[in-house]
């Protein structure tokens, strides 16, 4: 693959995604403008703060281009990135300022596992994503909870009975942070998607 993977670099944990993808040999490009998005093979929406990302997405005039991009190329959203991808937020009091892109047919509850001090690491089942039976060490940091999935959404990661990762075609959303651990299976699966399209 020669086209770079774009990393939405407005706020949040994009640098660790860059390291993970680079370790797998993928060229990366930080995306802060529509021009930087053009020509990317795929896009990562990192974890961070979805209120801030909403504001910066609109200020940088990337909302429309990201939606258009997701219609034809793979997008991986992790944690706050999953919130941005989701079609619906279920919890929020008015005024929180998060406006999801509405691309992935699922409903999420922000901070659904508790506050920052309730962050945790937990092995999750990732088998539907890459076929491997090995558990994946998932880091949850004020993570969103996936509370409903639409018919188009396949559950690709589970924590007990709970979905913590969903896929709809070329769109992949995870409640946890795969970029923070040494296990590169999520990024490898995403690169495989990017190579397919």
Q: What angle do CA 4, 133, 114 make, to 5 degrees?
A: 75
Residue 40 is among the residues annotated as catalytic for this protein: no
11 binds ligand GLN (CB under 6 A): no
- Does 187 bind ligand GLN (CB under 6 A)? Our answer is no
Q: At what angle do helices 14-23 and 185-196 cross, to 10 degrees?
A: 80
Question: Which residue's entry shows tokens 């990337």?
Answer: 62
- Looking at 17, 31, 41, 50, which residue binds ligand GLN (CB under 6 A)? 50
Toward ligand GLN, which CB reaches closer, 49 or 183? Answer: 49
Give yes or no: 177 in active site.
yes
Residue 179: active-site member? yes
Q: Are 190 and 154 a contacting pair, CB within 8 Å? A: no
Report the relative pairing of strands 162-168 and 5-8 from DSSP bridges.
unpaired
Among 4, 6, 42, 47, binds ligand GLN (CB under 6 A): 47
Q: Give min distance, CB of 47 to ligand GLN, in A.
A: 3
142 binds ligand GLN (CB under 6 A): yes
- β-strands 104-109, 145-149 pairing: antiparallel
Catalytic residue among 28, 40, 79, 194: 79
CA distance 126 to 94: 34
Single out the catalytic residue among 28, 106, 179, 194.
Answer: 179
Which among 15, 39, 16 has a CA at the least distance from the CA of 182?
A: 16
* Contact indicator for 150, 139 with CB cutoff of 8 Å: no
Distance of alpha carbon 172 from alpha carbon 160, whole angstroms: 20
Nearer to ligand GLN, 57 or 141 (CB): 141
Report in angstroms how near the CB of residue 164 gets to ligand GLN at its nearest: 13
Site for ligand GLN in 55-114 (CB under 6 A): 79-80, 83, 110-111
Cα dihedral 41, 46, 51, 53, rounded to 10, equals -40
Name which position in 9, 75, 141, 156 contacts ligand GLN (CB under 6 A): 141
| Contact flag: residue 16 with ligand GLN (CB under 6 A) | no
Q: Which residues are identified as catalytic? A: 79, 177, 179
Residues that bind ligand GLN (CB under 6 A): 47-50, 79-80, 83, 110-111, 141-142
């Amino acid at each position: 693959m020669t086209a770079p993977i774009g990393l939405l670099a407005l706020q949040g944990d994009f640098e660790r995604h860059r390291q993970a993808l680079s370790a797998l040999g993928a060229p990366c490009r930080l995306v802060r403008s529509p021009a930087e998005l053009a020509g990317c093979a795929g896009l990562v929406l990192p974890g961070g703060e979805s209120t801030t990302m909403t504001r910066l997405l609109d200020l940088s005039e990337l909302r429309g281009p990201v939606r258009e991009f997701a219609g034809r190329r793979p997008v991986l959203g992790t944690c706050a990135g999953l919130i941005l991808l989701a079609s619906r937020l279920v919890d929020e009091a008015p005024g929180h300022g998060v406006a999801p892109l509405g691309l992935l047919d699922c409903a999420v509850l922000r901070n659904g596992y508790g506050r920052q001090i309730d962050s945790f690491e937990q092995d999750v089942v990732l088998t539907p994503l890459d076929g491997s039976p090995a558990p994946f060490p998932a880091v949850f940091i004020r993570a969103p909870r996936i509370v409903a999935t639409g018919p188009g959404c396949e559950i690709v990661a589970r924590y007990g009975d709970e979905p913590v990762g969903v896929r709809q075609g070329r769109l992949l959303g995870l409640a946890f942070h795969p970029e923070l651990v040494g296990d590169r299976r999520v990024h490898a699966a995403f690169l495989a998607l990017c190579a397919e399209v």
